[in-house]
């Protein structure tokens, strides 16, 4: 007999998600480059809409189905709004995918160095996470397919991937899907898709439009600059959307969140400026750090709004992390994901990128 409620056995195996830090170990506020937030902030139109939404009666529940937002998303992307579901960030939908389709005795597959939420999503519903080998920090489709068994229920793939920034080409996505059994759900996590050019698009939405076992998730947290509002959306076959609607929170997107997301979606100028700023300073910082290759510094090619930088020389990632913190910057040191030798650095403002490059150059060449 136990003297208190006991959690399910698999809950104890979950390592809680660790968010990006914004203060130093001494509590000192730092420039936050650890959470892939938009350095340009938020669209002025979205901010104004958010203020208007906050003026509405807070005693009233928001639209439980995010109807206007789903219709606007559908119009922008040429999708049927009935096949769109909104969530409390795309994280909610990623978790619901596992909850809806996997459980004890089932397996959930994802690539090594994938988004840490996938492991949590698998374990919280009692499923077994299965980690496929990577190909120099990128997705290896053959390795993923080799991990699929008759117990596999869900395969997660972020594209571009977080925390590596790597991109799986359109043809490889199609090959992965074609190699999966029809009863396995492929979840394409496209949190950073708006940073891609049209030529880089993996056509995941088209796959989801024509197949019953594909769910695409997206977020307003990154390029739209609405991370604090927690708004995501997913698109898939009617059966998938029906499943997620049955188990999601009933009022999961707030009044202000729906209003802000609607306005952000319409402010294409802000999205273009954010994409162009990111492309420019990602390329610049990658070029600066590539010059440190003789000192054991390697930059993984990125298609997102961050760089994964490897430290495999005399200077360790821990030392680089400490030096940046001393200089007033906090980045992500993803040691809990098997990347103790790496730092993930969000692309920030010009002054911040120049400072990061200077600190790291001075550190490794000293």
Nearest to 159 by CA among 123, 118, 190: 190
**Pairing assessment for the beta strands 297-300 and 232-236 based on DSSP bridges:** unpaired
Q: In this predicted model, what pLDDT tens digit does every residue of 284-326 receive, in sequence order?
A: 999 999 999 999 999 999 999 999 999 999 999 999 999 999 9
Residues whose CB is less than 8 angstroms from the CB of residue 41 and which lie 6 or more positions away in sequence, other chains included: 225
* 173-176 LR contacts (CB < 8 Å, sep 24+): 173/202, 173/203, 173/204, 173/207, 174/203, 174/207, 175/141, 176/141, 176/144, 176/145
Res 122 pLDDT > 90: yes
Residues whose CB is less than 8 angstroms from the CB of residue 77 and which lie 6 or more positions away in sequence, other chains included: 205, 235
Class at the top of the CATH hierarchy for domain 44-266: alpha beta
Res 344 pLDDT > 80: yes
Whole-angstrom Cα distance, residue 64 to residue 46? 20
Domain 9-41+269-365: assigned CATH number: 3.90.1150.10
Q: In this predicted model, what pLDDT tens digit does every residue of 173-208 receive, in sequence order?
A: 999 999 999 999 999 999 999 999 999 999 999 999
- Residue 6 is predicted with a pLDDT of 80
Q: In this predicted model, what pLDDT tens digit does every residue of 20-46 receive, in sequence order?
A: 677 677 777 899 999 999 999 999 999
35, 158, 231 from 218: Cα distances, Å: 16, 10, 9
- Residue 337 is predicted with a pLDDT of 93
Res 2 pLDDT > 80: no
Candidate from 9-23, 62-76, 258-272, 274-288 with smallest mean pLDDT:
9-23
pLDDT more than 70, % of the chain = 97
Helices (H), the chain: 44-54, 67-77, 89-101, 117-124, 141-146, 170-179, 204-210, 238-247, 255-266, 268-290, 317-326, 350-365
Residue 109: pLDDT band with limits 50, 70, 90: very high
- Residue 99 is predicted with a pLDDT of 97
Nearest to 88 by CA among 112, 47, 117, 59: 117
Whole-angstrom Cα distance, residue 110 to residue 134? 10
Q: In this predicted model, what pLDDT tens digit does every residue of 49-66 receive, in sequence order?
A: 988 876 677 788 999 999
User: How many C-beta neighbours within 10 Å does residue 106 have?
Assistant: 17
Candidate from 14-23, 149-158, 210-219, 264-273 with smallest mean pLDDT:
14-23
Report the mean per-residue pLDDT for the chain.
Answer: 95
How is the chain split into domains, by residue range?
9-41+269-365, 44-266
- Residue 9 is predicted with a pLDDT of 80
């Amino acid at each position: 007999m136990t003297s208190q409620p006991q959690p399910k056995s698999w809950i104890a195996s979950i390592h809680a998600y660790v968010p990006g830090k914004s203060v130093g170990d001494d509590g000192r506020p730092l420039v936050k480059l650890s959470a892939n937030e938009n350095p340009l902030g938020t669209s002025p139109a979205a901010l104004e809409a958010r203020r208007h939404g906050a003026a509405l009666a807070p005693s009233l529940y928001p639209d439980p189905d995010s109807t206007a937002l789903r219709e606007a998303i559908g119009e922008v992307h040429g999708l049927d709004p009935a096949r769109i579901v909104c969530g409390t960030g795309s994280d909610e939908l990623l978790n619901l995918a596992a909850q809806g389709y996997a459980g004890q005795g089932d397996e959930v597959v994802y690539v090594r160095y994938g988004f840490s939420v996938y492991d949590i999503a698998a374990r919280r519903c009692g499923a077994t996470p299965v980690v496929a080998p990577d190909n120099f920090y990128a997705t290896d489709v053959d390795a993923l397919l080799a991990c699929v068994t008759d117990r596999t229920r869900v395969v997660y793939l972020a594209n571009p991937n977080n925390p590596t920034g790597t991109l799986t080409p359109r043809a490889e996505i199609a090959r992965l899907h074609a190699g999966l059994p029809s009863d396995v759900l492929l979840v394409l996590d496209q949190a950073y898709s708006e940073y891609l050019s049209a030529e880089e698009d993996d056509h995941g939405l088209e796959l989801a439009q024509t197949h019953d076992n594909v769910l695409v998730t997206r977020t307003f947290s990154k390029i739209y600059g609405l991370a604090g509002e927690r708004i995501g959306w997913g698109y898939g076959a009617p059966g998938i959307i029906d499943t997620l609607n049955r188990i999601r929170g009933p009022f999961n997107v707030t009044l202000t969140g729906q209003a802000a997301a609607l306005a952000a979606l319409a402010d294409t100028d802000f999205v273009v400026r954010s994409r162009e700023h990111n492309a420019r300073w990602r390329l610049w910082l990658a070029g600066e750090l590539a010059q440190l290759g003789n000192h054991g510094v390697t930059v993984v090619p990125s298609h997102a709004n961050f760089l994964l930088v490897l430290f495999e020389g005399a200077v360790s990632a821990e030392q680089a992390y400490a030096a940046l913190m001393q200089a007033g910057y906090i980045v992500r040191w993803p040691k809990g994901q098997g990347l103790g030798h790496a730092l993930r650095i969000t692309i920030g403002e010009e002054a911040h990128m120049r400072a990061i490059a200077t600190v790291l150059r001075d550190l490794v060449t000293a």
